[in-house]
Structures are given as structure tokens and as C-alpha cells.
Structure 1
Amino acid sequence: MRNPVTAVQNALGVNPQVLALALARMSESVGNSFLIVVLPLFIASDFVTGGTFGLTEVFITGLVLSIFGFVNSPLQPFTGRLSDRTGRRKVFVLFGLALIAVAGVGYAFAATYWHLIGLRVLQGIAGAFIIPTTVALVNDLATDENRGGNMGTYNTFRLVGFGVGPIAAGGVVAAGPFTVPLGATTVALTGFDAAFYFAASTAVLAFLLVLTLIRDPDIDPDDGGDESFLAALAIRDRDGGQLLDPVFALGVVSFFMAVGIAVFATLGDIVNTELDQGPDMFGLQFAAFVLAQIFLQAPIGRATDYYGRKAFILVGTVLLVPTTLVQGLVPAYALGFGLIGDPWVMFLARFLQGVAGAMVFAPALALAGDIAREGASGSTLSVLTMAFGFGVAAGPLLSGFLVAWGFVVPFAFAAALAAIGAITVATQVNEVNAPRRAIPFVGYVT
């Protein structure tokens, strides 16, 4: 009888353990993205009190949401490198998921703004243990022939979880309070409590999936030789063939892409006013990027296993330029063509930006994985995950500052960064493995 595990691997080109890890990250992402919707509502409610030390509630809300990225991103090279030195990934993932679950329960007992900030810091530390080590696990479990497909599948499942969470979160809060039977008595839970406990439960489910289905691959611990702890953050090309280290160059591109994605996040009120739309449509526009990623990450990643990584990354960064810039021009475009109040132009722009992003992130991770030494995936890939995290955190802050000079300015700035990213890919990044097939009408980009 044919081995079902082998059948899955052959049909999808994906390691079964990667599928299990992707399911675990999808579960954890549902709970984590829940908080993006629930925490602002919680902060605005009467459940949170205490002094703000002169800071506005809006600023506190932004700080609570963004501090996750600012905490976990700089720690990722350290945790990634530590997992390389020990030759173990699974224990880091389990520790991070345990912290996520503890913090999720902690929100139900939070009563001040500073409780929330402390819990988000704890979650940021947890993210530093989870993000680089899960990506390194995918890289370790994959091969040169299927690394793109594995990375694309992993990211697809993670993004499904990230997209589902916000859709359900508001409904859970609004449906409260809940009465939960507990033995001979019942316990009353507010909608917020239910949402926080649910977020914690998704981390527990992810913990159990990793604990029971994932094993550390058989790799030798990487002691780094004579290299320093932060050797993976080399900026200059150590081989002297180019100006920038190729992994650092891919990190720069990932940062620029993340900034372009995130500048839209803080402009909801302005977009709704300019396009005469409601917040529901803004949420759909925001999700359009994720929707494109869900559909395309896996097939594009799989395609890079045959046609090479660089061509896809280059085309993606080039496409990021117009798809980002046009978002800033949509209000003027609508006015110029008599399409006042039609928000679907913005939805289309966001979706096409997602198409471009799908051509960049998973292929960039796969290419960095091709470059990484055996046993050094954690430190190498953490450069890209750290850069992406910084970009997601920096984008909303930049757009909030730049929009004072005009609605188009944040998008024009992000488009300019994407153009620099395209030049960086074209001049500083090369293939490691020769493509197995030529791209029709495009050729092989060296």
C-alpha cells in the first residue's frame, strides 16, 4: 500500500512536517490577529483605567499594537542564532507558544494601560522565539528542489490564520457576555474575556500540534567558527563580488515591501472620507493584500523551485512600485473620472500589491535558505523576518507622519523604497542554484 505521507509530499512537493508546522502557525496567528481588533476596543472600554502620563488614548492604542513588532524584531537574530548553536528549533517554538498563551490569559486580568503594554512586550519576546525558528525549521525540512514550495505553503497557512482572526474577533466581543457551565456552577464571561481566552486557546492548540507532530531535523549544531554572534547581519559581501551581502540585500527588500504594505493601515479615516465608504469596506481593502497572498504564495513558491528565485523577486519588487503608488492616487483618480464613492479601485490596487508581495517574500526566504550554511538557517533567515517585522511596525508610523503633506505622500515614499529595492535585487542578488527550467519569454535573470 502506498505511504500516505509520501503521497502528500509527492503531490504537493511539501514536507508533511511543514504542513503540520503551518497548521500550528495558522492556529497561533488566528489568536494573535484577534488581538489587533480586540485590543483597541478593550482600551476604549471602561475595563481599562489608569493614568496615561500625558499620552492620548489614541497614542497608547498605537503603542500597544506596534510594540509587538518593535520588541520581537531586534531579538530575532539572537534567538535564531541560539537555535543554530544548540541545533534545536522545537524547544524554542514551544517556549514562545507557551508565552503567547500566558499573555493571552493575562489580558483577561489586565486593568491598566501599562498592564497591556507589559503583556504585549511579553508577546513580542514570544514572537522572537517563534518566528525565526519556525522559518528555520521549514528551511531545514525542505530541500533545494522544493524549498520555494515549502516556504510558500507555510506562509499561506500562516496568512489564512492572520486573515480569519480579525473577521471573527469583533463578533465575539459583541456577542458577550457569555455564561459558561463549570461543574455545578456557571461562570459569566464578558465578550473581551471570551476573546482573550480564545486567543490563548489557539496558542495552546499550536503548542500541542508542535509537541506531538514536529521533531527537530537531524542537523549538526552550528558553532559559527570564528564568526561573531551577529555574523548573519553582515552588510558587505564577504566574498567581494558585490557591494552588499546577498542576505542583507534580501532583508532590505523585505523591509521596503513591509513598509509599503503597512502605510495603508493607519489611514482608515482618511480613506473612508475620500472614497465615501464605510469601515467595513476599508477592512475588505486592507484584507485584499492578504487575500492575494493566500491564493498565490504556494504556487509562486513552487514555481521558483523550477524557474529560479531571482526573476520572481525582481518582477515582484518592480510591480510593488506602481501598485503602491496608485493607492495614493485613487482619490484623485476617482474624482477625475467621475467615480466618486467607488472603493473597488482601491481594493484592486491592494490586491495587485498583494500579487507583487507574493512574488517577493516566500521566494526571498527560499533564496536566503539556499544561501544559508547547513545548521545556520536560524540566524540567516532571521535577517529577513526581522526586517519584515520592522517594516510592518515602521509603516504606520511613517504614514501617520507623512500624510500631513498630502494623502499621496506616504504611498509615493513607499513606492520610491520599492524602486530602490528593485535596483538592489537586480544588482546585489544572484541565484545560488541553477533553475531547472527557463522562463518563457523572460529568460534567466543573473
Structure 2
Amino acid sequence: MDKTEQGLKQNKGPLLLLSFNLFIIMVGIGLVIPILPFYVEKFGAGARTLGALIAVYSFMQFIFAPLWGRLSDKIGRKPLITAGLIGFAVSEFLFAFASSIWLLFAARILAGGFGSALMPTAMAYVSDVTSDEDRGKGMGIMGAAMGLGIVIGPGIGGWLAEYDLSYPFIFAGIAASVAAVVSVLILPESYSPEQRAIDAERNRAESSSSRIEKLKQTMRSPAGFLLLLVFLLSFGLANFQSIFGYYSWERYGYGPKEVGLIMLIIGLIGTLVQGAGVGRITKKFGDQRTVLGSLLLSAVGFILMTLANSFAGVLVTTGIFFIGNSLLRPSVNSLLSKQAGPQQGYIMGLNNSFLSLGNVAGPLAAGGLFEWNLHLPYMFGAAIMLFGFSLTYRWAKQHSQEAVH
């Protein structure tokens, strides 16, 4: 066993606990998928309100993620992870017992604001406890937990909602509360005060500019391109997820049962790919080549989806897209963390903001294009992935010396 593998093994416990926390959050997000349309109907609201509730969550993440990321660089990762879980738990309870539409919005705003504390801090945590060589594997473990949560979430939500529509949200609140307590008692801090002081001094020496100037500098750096890539991959996935149910209903006559089964199967495939495949593939081909191949595979999947004419065909084509996307996200995150240097929290906060921005823009674009033609969202998604492939190919050539093999 070499030194890097030994280091990853020693940090396996914290990584698994962190992955559990992300799993809980993604279950909470996933269980909303089959329930939210019926839940808002209780308040006499319609599709426009539903879309606004979905968008406001991602928009709050876009605003607050960089703030949480910078704060984690100052006070450490553990306090932010714990705060994110507690805030998310409170938001779920508020949603479950809301008596008006405005309380629903308040709950979603709270969920987006505090939920955004967890993701960038978790990625910074992984960067703290893994070497460059094993970072892709660490990100893959984290991605697998998230993928499994988003797969299991709708199943739990659909089952609990048969008893009461508020039960899924109560379940998510209890689970997040348990995860917060476990994190307080067990999760070790990955970012020591001594290392924070060293990195803070280094950051002050590197730049005394304002936050806006710092953002401009970041966007002009190699990390800036990777943040753009994060937006593109998030846009593509949100484009797919937001319109898939409508697309399946209009084209194939599928109901929630068939759509749920497809999402379950491809979600499990994605989880297996992230948990078992990302580490091996990135070590063999490097992060840059993995990103290029994943972008191309995602584009092909988008195009093939418009050609499927049977349930098996839908499974295969959506599976191709999901495999590409499952490889793409942890590979981009790994590249980004290597560019972040001593600013892991800040960069990962920006990463979550660009991810959230894609989650806002993707559904809006897909909904508008779907009204023109049901195939347009997926054709546009393919074009976005190919555009990302072209940009990444050029970027990789210019920064070939930074490629990891």
C-alpha cells in the first residue's frame, strides 16, 4: 500500500460520515420530487408557484454558498457542516407544518440558505483529507452518497405520502437532526487552526484586493473556466431532470410509476459508477480526459433520448446520459480542488453557486423550449454538452502541464 492509499484509508471514517450527511440532504431534496406538486395544491397554488418554489431554493444556494465557503476557511469545516444540517432540519419541519404558501417559501429559502453551507464545506473537507492522487476517488465516494440519496428520496417520499403529505418532510427533518448530532459528537475537524492561520496569511500576502476583485481574479484563472464548466454540467442535468416527467408523459404516456422506476434504475447505475468507477477511471486516464469523455457521452445520451421508442430504449439512452454525468461531476470537482490551493472553502463555495445557477437556469430553459417542441430541451442539452467539450479540449491543451495522470 503506497502513502496516498494509506492516507485515504486512514480518513475513510470521516469521509463515510461526511458522505452520510450528504446522503441525508439529498434524500431530503429527492423526496420533494413526487410530493411537491400535490403539496402546493393544498394551498390552492399551481405550476407557476411550484416552479418558483424550486427556483428559490437554488437561487438561495447561489447567493449563500460563497459566504459559507469563505467562513469555513476562517472557522473550520465542522461548524459549517453542523450548522447546515441543523438549518436544513428546521426548514423541513417548517415546510411540514406550514399553514400558508408564504411559509412554504420561507421554508424553501431557509433550506436553500443553510443547505448551501454543507456542499462546499464538504468538498473542502474532502480536499483537506485526500492527496491529489486520491482526490478523484474521494469526490467519487461523496458523489455516490449524493446520488444514492437522490435515488432513494423519491421512493421514501412516495411511500410516506400515502399516509400524510407532511410525513416525508418530517422524516427528512428528523434524519438531518440525527446527522447533525452525530457530526457534533464524531466528525473530526479536518482544517486545523494552525493550517487556517498559515493559509490566511498566504491569502493576505497573495492579494489585498476587494471581494469583487478577488472574484474577477478567480474567474480569469484556470479555476474560472472550471466554474463555467460546473455551470454547464449542472445546466444539462437540471435540464434533463426537470422535463423528464413531462417528456415521458407526452411521448410515451408514462405515469409516476414508470418515471419513478426509470429514475430509480438510472440513479442506481449512476451511484455505482461514482462509487466504484470514478477513482479507477481518473487514475488511469486523468481528470481532464475523464471530463472530456464524460461531456461527449452526456451529449450522445441527450441525442439518443429523442430516438428511443420503447421502455428498454428509454432506459438505455437515459442510462448513457446518466453515466456520463455521473463521471463528469466528481472529475470536475477534483480538477477544481487542485486549482484552489489554500482557498478550498472559497472556491468550493463558488463551485456550489455556479452549480445552483445551473439548477435555476436549466429548468427555466427546458420549460420554455418544451412548449415549442418536446425534443428541443434535449437537443439544446446536447448542444450545451458539446460546447463544454469544445471549451474543455482547448483549455486542456493550454494547461496540459496541469493534467493529472
Q: 2:179 matched to which residue of 1? A: 206
Distance 1:42 1:308, change over 3 A: same
SS of equivalent residue, structure 2 residue 76: coil
Q: 2:394 matched to which residue of 1? A: 427
Q: 1:132 matched to which residue of 2? A: 120
2:84 pairs with one of 96, 99, 119 = 96
After TM superposition, list the pairs within 5 Å mapping 1:106-145 onto structure 2: 106-145=94-133
Structure number with greater Rg is 1
CA contact (8 A) 2:286 2:404 kept: yes
Q: 1:43 matched to which residue of 2? A: 40
Query: Is 1:312–2:311 an aligned residue pair?
Result: no
Q: 1:183 matched to which residue of 2? A: none
CA contact (8 A) 2:8 2:134 kept: no
1:354 pairs with one of 319, 322, 326 = 322
Query: How much has 1:231 moved relative to structure 2?
Result: 5.8
What is the distance in 1 between the residues matched to 2:10 and 2:213? Answer: 32
1:409 pairs with one of 376, 391, 401 = 376
2:340 pairs with one of 353, 369, 372 = 372
Q: 2:255 matched to which residue of 1? A: 278
Distance 1:58 1:434, change over 3 A: closer
Query: How much has 1:312 moved relative to structure 2?
Result: 0.3
Unaligned runs of 5+ in 1: 1-5, 50-55, 177-190, 239-244, 335-341, 437-446
2:271 pairs with one of 294, 306, 319 = 294
2:286 aligned partner, one-letter code: G
Unaligned runs of 5+ in 2: none
Distance 1:277 1:305, change over 3 A: same
Query: Is 1:170–2:121 an aligned residue pair?
Result: no
Point out the more displaced range, 260-269 or 125-134.
260-269
What is the distance in 2 between the residues matched to 1:230 and 1:347? Answer: 45
Q: 1:63 matched to which residue of 2? A: 52
Query: Is 1:161–2:129 an aligned residue pair?
Result: no
Query: How much has 1:173 moved relative to structure 2?
Result: 1.4
CA contact (8 A) 1:323 1:350 kept: yes
SS of equivalent residue, structure 2 residue 52: helix
Distance 1:360 1:327, change over 3 A: same
Distance 1:267 1:153, change over 3 A: closer
Q: 2:188 matched to which residue of 1? A: 215
Query: Is 1:327–2:305 an aligned residue pair?
Result: yes
What TM-score does the superposition give when structure 1 sets the normalisation length?
0.81
Q: 1:229 matched to which residue of 2? A: 211
Q: 2:226 matched to which residue of 1? A: 250
Distance 1:125 1:434, change over 3 A: closer
Q: 1:15 matched to which residue of 2? A: 12
Cα RMSD, aligned residues only: 2.4
Distance 1:425 1:61, change over 3 A: same
CA contact (8 A) 2:37 2:50 kept: yes
CA contact (8 A) 1:144 1:305 kept: no
What is the distance in 2 between the residues matched to 1:418 and 1:329? Answer: 18
What is the distance in 2 between the residues matched to 1:402 and 1:272? Answer: 16
CA contact (8 A) 1:98 1:204 kept: yes
2:189 aligned partner, one-letter code: D
CA contact (8 A) 2:151 2:267 kept: yes
CA contact (8 A) 2:34 2:158 kept: yes
Richer in helix (by share): 2
Query: Is 1:398–2:365 an aligned residue pair?
Result: yes
2:22 pairs with one of 2, 25, 36 = 25
Please give the per-residue CA displacement for 1:241-291, whole angstroms capped at 9, x wherever unaligned. Answer: xxxx32221222222222222223235234223123332222233345433
Identity of aligned residues (%): 23
Please give the per-residue CA displacement for 1:194-246, whole angstroms capped at 9, x wherever unaligned. Answer: 322211011112102221222222232443322433566447775xxxxxx32
What is the distance in 2 between the residues matched to 1:328 and 1:253? Answer: 24
1:253 aligned partner, one-letter code: L
What is the distance in 2 between the residues matched to 1:363 and 1:74? Answer: 24
Distance 1:117 1:90, change over 3 A: same
Query: How much has 1:99 moved relative to structure 2?
Result: 1.0
Distance 1:300 1:228, change over 3 A: farther
2:293 aligned partner, one-letter code: V
Q: 2:167 matched to which residue of 1? A: 194
Point out the more displaced range, 227-236 or 120-129.
227-236
What TM-score does the superposition give when structure 2 sets the normalisation length?
0.88
Distance 1:372 1:431, change over 3 A: farther
What is the distance in 1 between the residues matched to 2:78 and 2:212? Answer: 22
Distance 1:232 1:370, change over 3 A: farther
